Structure 1
Amino acid sequence: MVVLISGRKSAGDLDALDLFSRMDVPATGAATTVPSPERRESFHQKLNAVLDQSLSNPSRLHGWRVQGLFEAMIVSLGTVRMIKEEDAGRYFFHAGDEVRPADFRIITAAGEHLLVEVKGVNPSNMTKPQRVRNQDLDPLLRYAELTGARLLFAPYWSAINLWSLVDASALTRLDERRRVLNFESAMMANELGLVGDAQIGTEPPLTFSVIADPAGQEHDDRGAQTEIRFRVGAVELASAGRVLTDPQQQKIAWFLMLHGQWPPTEQPVIEDGRLVRINQVFRPVVPDDEELAEAISDQGFALVGSLSSMYSNAYNDVTLTEDGEIRALRHEPDPGALASLVPSDYWDNRENDALPIWKLTQDPGR
């Protein structure tokens, strides 16, 4: 695990001064100085105008939020040596050789330099193929070549909460002006494992139980309905019926239940008219397909989801409203949190196997 730290702390005063220096363009021959009220007022007017333009553009806001999600996810996966916003700040290039930086530069654990262009796929488009114009792709490729990096695209298929990280060579020719990346090709060529992503599986079901205190229960019978008031005596986490007592296993199970793909069902347990417990049972969704159900039973586990998807669920919870509106454009990551969730030594000499974990990392075999 590599724990990344911020190389540039937020400094609102310097950031504001930098923005002012870029937007403050005095008239030729102006006698005013930089701190003058006239220059400040002109800056405020320009800033309000461009800010209003961005805040009224939903697609721009969602695209900005998805970029923040990608950066936070990579930091939380905790395997790369560095990630940096590449398209921030000015740059100059040789006339006639148009270049454009991608969104991020990543240096992997092996020292490879990756330039990543993030693409947020509109939920309404589901898995619609992503088209890239040659006039946009070529400057990105030239920048990558000049800076000794490999160019990749990172579409976030938001409707199904899946990421892919795909080398630019996987884009196929659509016509003379455009290239295209379809969902199937993106999944086959996915290189997110290179930056720490993996599919996590375990033995179903996972259960969170609220155990009722047997003392002090009050029952109010109302004909066909009964209201029970009780105190919580304890809570319990279990995997396939095995109670989890190890703190690390409890942490893993809780994360998988909160952010994985298995939906919960509520099952109250009542014995002799008294509430014993309320179970929240998390199971994989299995279609009415006996072969699939039998395969899960035979292999002993089912996939709960990828680390990238589960992190995206958690990130979306704090940056989006229930209606999908944006409440925050970014959320600070917890460096290395996903790498430490299931550490590499989890399977070494474990005395407690109550929570078996399978970790599958995809290799596109480039």
Structure 2
Amino acid sequence: MDEGLLRAVVPEVLGVLVRRGADFASAEDAVQEALVAAVRTWPDDPPRDAKGWLVTAAWRRHVDTVRSESSRRDREDRVADEPPPGPAARSDDTLRLYFLCAHPSLSPAAATALTLRAIGGLTTRQVAAAHLVPEATMAQRISRAKRTVAGIPLDTPGDLGTVMRVLYLVFNEGYGGDVDLAAEAIRLARQLVTLTDEPEVQGLLALFLLHHARRPARTSAGGALVPLPEQDRRLWRTDLVAEGVGILQAALARDRLGEYQAQAAIAALHADALRAEDTDWVQISEWYDELVAITDSPVHRLNRAVAVGEADGGPAGLRALAEVDPSVPRHAAVAAHLHERSGDLRAAARLYREAADAATSVPERTHLTRQAARLHQLL
């Protein structure tokens, strides 16, 4: 059974149920039950119309649920008779579902969880495992999210920028359990590209692909973090690089530059360098100038300082860093790198220790501690 195809039609099926009058929470529960039934029965008896089968199965479960709740008999009057079996209508409310699952009333954590469950077609257990939290905790989070959006009409205008930020958060969650969230974000971004005509959505997909291409080289066999300059670039996936660059070029050609396109352009320049020393840091610095002009983000200013330091030397990078709030995450690590490039090894070692103490992951803390130890040996 093609589980990818199964999950791909989930938002269309959910949209059909909501259009027929089911509230979002009930419709989503019914679709999940239909998915469980599909996993159980399709290997032996695959349907000719996957979407039609799921619509019929989910609608039956929704009707059964409504009829079984005696305290809600009045809802039966709003339930239409079951439609006859046959090919499902081609109506697709997937984009509206993206908007609903990324509604501003939801927290980022709730929006990512609801997106993975309702649009991604993942089970609560899979979403919980991917986020490394207990299933009961994730079930409560998703239930609260569904209650929050329950009264919001499907036709309510949404914000595409919020949807993209939610997918960006999903991608950055990385990997946990048996679900690769980076791959899920790429799948959902591909779908979003087909639903919109916005170059910035293309830029987001290109960014995902270009970053994902480097994933095989990011950690050693023992799980240690491998910095970009030290990565074995032969491990990078050239197919994803080529696809990402092609999508990015098409987006940039439309001359409507956005944040994700600029980030993707920087990732493409890294991917274009066969060796770390071949990296075009001057162009990367110029792209960071564009990115800062668009977002004025302190994180992008921090990364710009690194690029300036590589392009024009450590002192220039430190001058750029002086414009960044020291409370920005990774500030100490960047300062350490730039002090090392400037020849101040004592200050760099001290800053690497500070950065290690503030690190939020074991691999990052280990890497920064080793950097501090390396410099201490040189003092």
- TM-score, structure 1 normalization: 0.29
- TM-score, structure 2 normalization: 0.28
Greater strand proportion: 1
Whose relative contact order is higher, 1 or 2, with alpha carbons under 8 Å and at least 6 apart? 1
